Structure 1
Amino acid sequence: MQRRVPPTIFAPPGAKTSPNWAIKLYEAADEVAWAAKLNLLWILFTLMGGVLLGVGPATVAAYTLARRRAMGESFRSWPAFVSVYRREFTRGSVLVLPLVAAAALLVTNYFYFASLGSAGSISQVATVVALGILVVIAAYALPMSVHYDLRTPHLLPKASLFALTRPAASVLLLFVFTAVVYVATTFPFLVLVLAIGGWIQLDTWLCLRFFAENEAKLHAKGTS
């Protein structure tokens, strides 16, 4: 349902303001506020689980709420997050912790090879490529985990296959992730305010469209 916002909120009476422009500006601000709320919930519940035990269920809960938001649902964010966090505590850890461990290992290797100078340049490039592949697979796997009824062991193979068969979409996801990381490293305070929630919502929004396009193609092949 489209939100209606009086243009007088953004301009004094008599000013020439497009109602459509005002609505779009309001909706953009609303999306930023939502991403900030999702960011706060993710950080809070990750810390509540002692980081290691909290990051998995917090991530799955954040993606679940991001999907509901992208699907146009209305819900109360706090109780919805708590409900998913509790329900997916074990599954979230099983899914997310291996991805976090692999990312941490690759980042550690990158800095180790960087310290070797030119002798480690090839290994450094290979590590960056591997990290990029991991990012893309995770970017598909996490939205898949909340959108499809798939068992956890099947998620990474399905995400890997999807990444291979949709290279343009995979490159786009990697580009968006790189842009978010660049902005977050340039302005570190955004990590605490917006970056994590913004990436989760963007990743979910994009993947839902990729999934829908893929389902439409499969349906067309099945009926042809």
Structure 2
Amino acid sequence: MSGTGWSIKLYHAADEAIWVLRLNCCWLGFTLLGGVLFGIGPASLAAYSLARRRTFGESFHIVPAFTTAFRREFRRGTLLGLPLAAAAIVLIGNYLLFASLGQKATLPRLGSLLALVALGVITAYLLPMAVHFDLGVRELLPKASLIALARPASSVILLFVALSIAYVSVRFPVFGILLAGGAWIQLDTWLCLRFFAENEARLHLKGNS
């Protein structure tokens, strides 16, 4: 029984690793297909859409499903992805500039870093929210910002997971190339779907009280 149990767990672990690898490859491939700047938004929404379906136990062929999702989300993904990418580029540029100025620019450097972290946390909620709820592009940023502020413990968990994946990617570059993006997308989706469900349940209880 014990051997059978371990073999089943090993099978599921291998299956998840292969899924993450395939998701990562599709995400990177379609991002490059869109010229990076115009590809990262639609590719990210497509990846999150498939990660959501995977979380709910759906079975599908990833390449045709990703292609369909990429085409469907191209406009919305571009509208979401370009401003987020532009903001990240500006904040990273500011951080590097202030870092080069030494101690006299410590405060603006830390301010840029905090703003970059805040942008990352909000984006971690925004992308799963975009594929889970029927919301317009203009509604997503305020709602994602609100839930990030309203659920600090959840935001810390997301930040910890992101930093852990980043740390492992730096220590093991092969992991970073082959698995990091897909692992983050799947974990972020899995966690956020649970955070959303908990938040809706809490709001429902308040509404009935």
TM-score normalised according to structure 1 size: 0.90
The residue aligned with 1:213 is 198
The residue aligned with 2:26 is 41
The residue aligned with 2:5 is 20
Whole-Å separation in 1 of the counterparts to 2:174 and 2:101: 31
AA aligned to 1:66 is A
Alignment of 1:159 with 2:144, yes or no, is yes
Structure 1 residue runs without a partner (length 5+): 1-15
Alignment of 1:137 with 2:110, yes or no, is no
Whole-Å separation in 2 of the counterparts to 1:223 and 1:118: 54
The residue aligned with 1:115 is 100
Whole-Å separation in 2 of the counterparts to 1:72 and 1:21: 22
The residue aligned with 1:58 is 43
Higher helix share: 2
Asked whether the equivalents of residues 168 and 176 of structure 2 are also in contact (C-alpha less than 8 Å), the reply is: no
- Which residue of 149, 172, 179 maps to 1:187? 172
Which one is further off, 154-163 or 94-103?
A: 94-103
Matches within 5 A, 1:68-79: 68-79=53-64
List per-residue Cα deviations over 1:70-93 (Å, max 9, x = no partner).
111111111110001011111001
The residue aligned with 2:66 is 81
Asked whether the equivalents of residues 40 and 192 of structure 1 are also in contact (C-alpha less than 8 Å), the reply is: no
AA aligned to 2:96 is F
- Which residue of 112, 118, 126 maps to 1:127? 112
Asked whether the equivalents of residues 165 and 184 of structure 2 are also in contact (C-alpha less than 8 Å), the reply is: yes
AA aligned to 2:72 is R
Shift of 1:191: 3.0
AA aligned to 1:118 is Q
AA aligned to 1:187 is F
Whole-Å separation in 2 of the counterparts to 1:18 and 1:222: 49
AA aligned to 1:85 is F
List per-residue Cα deviations over 1:136-158 (Å, max 9, x = no partner).
10000000000000001110100
Shift of 1:222: 2.2
Shift of 1:190: 2.5
Cα RMSD for the two superposed structures: 1.2
Structure 2 residue runs without a partner (length 5+): none
Identity of matched residues, % = 58
| Structure of larger gyration radius | 1
The residue aligned with 2:158 is 173
Asked whether the equivalents of residues 45 and 54 of structure 1 are also in contact (C-alpha less than 8 Å), the reply is: yes
Aligned residue pairs total 209
Whole-Å separation in 2 of the counterparts to 1:113 and 1:214: 38
Whole-Å separation in 2 of the counterparts to 1:42 and 1:192: 12
Whole-Å separation in 2 of the counterparts to 1:50 and 1:151: 25
AA aligned to 1:30 is D
The residue aligned with 1:197 is 182
